[in-house]
């Protein structure tokens, strides 16, 4: 069984969080402003930038949330998604 330290999904959502933070910083927006404009709570957005939903649990954002965030950040959705999906499928 995978642990959060070696789970490919954990690595993926951490990379997603870094991409969100970079896009937000590039636009000069606060976490609060991005969250409000995307229709999510600031708490939820902060957790996404950290790549987690609860401590020790990797994030699993909805596609609609990601699309809203990309729109608010003025970037294509693909630009905030990490390019590689190695080993994310269970049992691989």
> What does each C-alpha distance from 41 to 4, 30, 49, 69, 74 come to in angstroms?
25, 13, 13, 12, 19
Q: What is the pTM of this model?
A: 0.86
Q: pLDDT for 65-88, tens place per residue?
A: 999 999 999 999 999 999 877 666
Taking residue 17's Cβ as centre, other Cβ atoms within 10 Å add up to 21
User: For residue 25, is pLDDT > 90?
Assistant: yes
Q: What is the mean pLDDT of the chain?
A: 89
Domain extent listing, the chain = 8-75
Confidence (pLDDT) at 7: 83
Confidence of residue 63 (pLDDT cuts 50, 70, 90): very high
Confidence (pLDDT) at 3: 45
Cα Rg, the chain, nearest whole Å? 13
Confidence of residue 2 (pLDDT cuts 50, 70, 90): very low
One of 1.10.260.40, 1.10.10.60, 3.30.300.210, 1.20.1050.10 is the CATH number of 8-75, namely 1.10.260.40
Question: Using the 8-state DSSP alphabet, how is residue 52 labeled?
Answer: E
Evaluate the CA torsion angle 76, 80, 86, 87 in order and state its sign. Answer: negative
Please state, in angstroms and rounded to a whole number, the distance separating the CA atoms of residues 61 and 57.
Answer: 12
Confidence (pLDDT) at 1: 38
Residue 39 token pair = 């229709």
């Amino acid at each position: 069984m995978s642990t959060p330290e070696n789970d490919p999904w954990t690595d993926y959502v951490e990379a997603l969080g870094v991409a969100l933070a970079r896009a937000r910083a590039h636009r000069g927006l606060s976490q609060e402003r991005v969250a409000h404009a995307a229709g999510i709570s600031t708490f939820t957005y902060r957790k996404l930038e950290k790549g987690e939903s609860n401590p020790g649990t990797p994030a699993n954002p909805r596609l609609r949330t990601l699309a809203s965030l990309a729109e608010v950040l003025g970037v294509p959705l693909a630009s905030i998604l990490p390019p590689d999906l190695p080993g994310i499928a269970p049992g691989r």
